[in-house]
Structure 1
Amino acid sequence: MTVAINPLTKLLAEKGVLLADGATGTNLFAMGLEAGEAPELWNEQHPERITKLHQDFVDAGADIILTNTFGGTRHRLKLHHAQDRVHSLNKTAAEIARAVADKAGRKVIVAGSVGPTGELLMPLGALTYEDAVAAFVEQIEGLQAGGADVAWIETMSSPEEIRAAAEAAVKVGMPYTYTGSFDTAGKTMMGLHPKDIHAVATDIGEGPLAVGANCGVGASDILSSLLDMTEADSAAIVIVKGNCGIPEYRGAEIYYSGTPPLMADYARLARDAGAKIIGGCCGTSCGHLAAMREALDSYEPGPRPTLETIVERIGPLRNKTANEGAAAPARERRRRS
């Protein structure tokens, strides 16, 4: 029996470094999504807008597009009375992304976005591990049915929740990746250090195709986390999908400070620091992504950056690094945007 090579692994072998897409929420807000509205409902209400977002990212040079399913578990969808539509919303989202990828004229990976449930696992909360696995199975079955290539577990803070989502992916028969959000003194809200990301789910199935970081605070901070991750395991395939500069409130609006040249420099530094999959999270538009594509295409290797180099080129850290120890107070999780 020949084992099929996963399309993500195959494309990585061909290209060496892949560009993942940018922000889902930020760009949907620009298209008219209202605060408090579930982006996932747009898969059925406004499929043409979701198609446009994916198409714009592909046109900007993305090798990987994430489905519009970050809050696609029953736990998130019940807030919008849509917990009975988990399968259909996730399947539709994957079908929309798949259609865009298939007509791209080059290989584009469809990554099924799997975000946290928003619930705390026992003993901190009421969600049992088994219930978490079941909720993720339900979501990932929909993503698989719609044609996703990989379960893309992201913005996680709890190692146990990562494990539950990974176990679900294996049960469904999908390869998986996972990323943590290192937003609390350089660690995740539940205390996971970047250097420990590799070991979270190595024993589940064949292990992850890639691990890494997304979201968090600013672009400098995620590059700091990246240094920790690649130092801990230089052979690992590491994902970094950082926010566009630093988020700042201007009145009621969140504004991201990153310019296209800054995000291009972030992409170069990420590559020098050993990342193999590089993308943008909150605030990252198609314009930013196009600049990152150009930076990676014209890349000339530089030395492994130091923290000082990152701060000098990208801007100050917003957080203590994970190695500085003192924990910041846990903040309420916000939805990825």
Structure 2
Amino acid sequence: MADALSKLLDERDWLLADGATGTNLFNMGLSSGDAPEFWNVDHPDRIAALYDGAVKAGSDLFLTNTFGGNASRLKLHDAQSRVHELNKAGAEIGRNIADKADHPVIVAGSVGPTGEIMAPMGSLTHEIAVEMFHEQAEGLKAGGADVLWLETISAIEEFVAAAEAFKRADMPWCGTMSFDTAGRTMMGITSKDFAKKAAKIDHAPIAIGANCGTGASDLLRTIQGFTDAKPPYPLIAKGNAGIPKYHDGHIHYDGTPELMADYAVLARDSGARIIGGCCGTTPHHLQLMRKALESRPSGPRPSHDDITSALGGFSSESDGTDGGGPTRAARRGRRRA
């Protein structure tokens, strides 16, 4: 049988994903440096409110509060023995919210990077990475996640290890990388590189794409890099709500709900099928994104000038797919504060 996400993609031209996890949890009182995953057990009502906020704003899919739920990340909080417990709890809360929704909603089990460097550049072996991802995947599966959602990855090696782990867990999955250095990941991968390598991975993903990174403009240029590479998968766009700025002891994102509504439409017209927000994106942003996607007709692929005029300039001259290096670009266009 087809998985729930694939069924929904077969029925719809686009799906609205959720917004930020960290931003919204900080607004609920999470302290910097604390493990958000502990709240799945200690404050399940707040995690339910996080998920419910996305659903009521119109999301067709939301990610669980388990981004840092692998043993390597939880070890920083002396909680490496709680991987299964915390992931299962995060997914169970999500399953309960999704099952009560008035429209079909996908529970996507968030799986973030290990935080370690893969061999041969680092000490994390393929085998250990697979074990860590598999342990987390089994917890999310036990909690009722529909799909696993690998996100903010920088290295292809880690992506491959996660795919093997998800195969062991017999779970469908999606995967996004974060392109934050002139259209490249921290490990130098471009959207073109990623699309080619993802097509060769055993236990293929349902969809691939980009999340986080710098601003929404850069992310859309990356999505267009994906479409040029013609990957055999639907594309995911999950961009930050503008650019982060430090103000009064806190990080704020300058992307307004109106800007993110424009971003959502430009993402759809650039080729993305699953569209959401990342850092800084609140339910209010999602409401306007949903409204824009439903009310504005599809159009031709936007030019780079169309993107920068609506969302602000790119952070670099090249997205890496042309072989260009990380040369910073002059800011163009307008940005709504």
TM class, shorter-length: over 0.9
Q: Structure 2 residue aligned with 1:23, among 20, 23, 28? A: 20
- The answer on 1:277 being equivalent to 2:274 is yes
Q: Distance in 2 between matches of 1:220 and 1:158?
A: 23
Q: Structure 1 residue aligned with 2:157, among 149, 160, 183? A: 160
3-state SS of 1:88 partner: helix
3-state SS of 2:198 partner: coil
Q: 1:328: Cα distance to partner?
A: 7.1
Aligned to 1:121: 118
CA contact (8 A) 1:163 1:200 kept: no
- The answer on 1:172 being equivalent to 2:174 is no
3-state SS of 1:200 partner: helix
Q: Structure 2 residue aligned with 1:38, among 28, 35, 39? A: 35
Q: TM-score of the superposition, structure 1-length normalised?
A: 0.94
Aligned to 1:233: 230
Moved over 4 A (4+): none
Q: Distance in 2 between matches of 1:240 and 1:298?
A: 19
Aligned to 1:78: 75
CA contact (8 A) 2:84 2:139 kept: yes
Gaps of 5+ in 1: 330-337
Q: Distance in 2 between matches of 1:225 and 1:249?
A: 26
Aligned to 2:217: 220
Alignment of 1:94-109 (within 5 A): 94-109=91-106
3-state SS of 1:90 partner: helix
Q: Distance in 2 between matches of 1:31 and 1:318?
A: 31
Q: 1:40: Cα distance to partner?
A: 0.4
Q: 1:86 to 1:177 in 2, by over 3 A?
A: same
**One-letter code aligned to 2:324:** G
Q: Distance in 2 between matches of 1:298 and 1:234?
A: 28
Matched residues, number: 326
Q: Structure 2 residue aligned with 1:198, among 192, 195, 198? A: 195
CA contact (8 A) 2:17 2:274 kept: yes
Q: Distance in 2 between matches of 1:271 and 1:235?
A: 17
3-state SS of 2:288 partner: helix
Aligned to 2:325: 326
Q: 1:201: Cα distance to partner?
A: 3.5
Q: Distance in 1 between matches of 2:240 and 2:118?
A: 27
Q: What is the aligned-residue RMSD (CA, Å)?
A: 1.4
Gaps of 5+ in 2: 329-337
Aligned to 2:335: none
Alignment of 1:61-76 (within 5 A): 61-76=58-73
CA contact (8 A) 1:184 1:328 kept: no
Q: 1:19: Cα distance to partner?
A: 0.4
Percent identity, please: 56
Q: TM-score of the superposition, structure 2-length normalised?
A: 0.94
3-state SS of 2:195 partner: helix
Moved more, 315-324 or 99-108: 315-324
